[in-house]
Amino acid sequence: MRALRFGFIGCFALLAALTLGVSSADAATVVALGASNTYGKGVARNQAYPAQLEAILRAKGLNVHVVNAGINGDTTEGMLQRLDQAVPNGTRAVVLQPGGNDRRKGSPDRTADIQSRLSARGITVIMLSNGMLGGLPHQPDGVHLTPEGYHMLAQSLASQVSGAIGR
């Protein structure tokens, strides 16, 4: 009887794992595209806003995967050049955070080109301007957010993202 009970529980666990695997494959993809504040410079990967955004949306019952496509020091020219690779077909929304590296590096602002290419692919673009970072807690460098700041940012983006993915 003990072996039979274990077999039933084992089968149930296997079924649950398979079901979770199917739902993960069907997850809506959201890409966070940007520079260091998207990447999460100075904090652990699970503390950057894309990871926290995914956790918030999943806690609300949404089947979503948020990809962190942030690169420290990136410019909008760099984002445009890697756009097709960073944003796979089937992506539902992109949170675009151009950052301040264009101005700092004397690079042209290609934000409009990025938005245009994503819109042509039917992908919703949610703009994350540097102004949204202003009142949030920052690290001592005054540029990058603390884990708490990234959490506050993720909370403020959650309703826009959930609306963009259809719920």
In the chain the beta strands, taken as DSSP E runs, fall at 28-34, 64-70, 91-97, 124-127
Rounded CA separation 69/83 (Å) = 10
Check whether 24 has a pLDDT greater than 70. Answer: no
pLDDT for residue 25: 66
Mean of pLDDT values over 6-21: 39
Check whether 11 has a pLDDT greater than 60. Answer: no
Mean of pLDDT values over 14-23: 38
For the CA atoms of 70, 75, 78, 79, the dihedral, rounded to the nearest 10 degrees, stands at 50
pLDDT tens readout for residues 120-164: 999 999 999 888 899 999 999 999 999 999 999 999 999 999 999
Secondary structure percentages of the chain, helix, strand, coil, to 5 = 55, 15, 30
Check whether 44 has a pLDDT greater than 90. Answer: yes
Check whether 17 has a pLDDT greater than 70. Answer: no
pLDDT for residue 19: 36
Rounded CA separation 11/3 (Å) = 12
Rounded CA separation 22/43 (Å) = 31
pLDDT tens readout for residues 59-106: 999 999 999 999 999 999 999 999 999 999 999 999 999 989 999 999
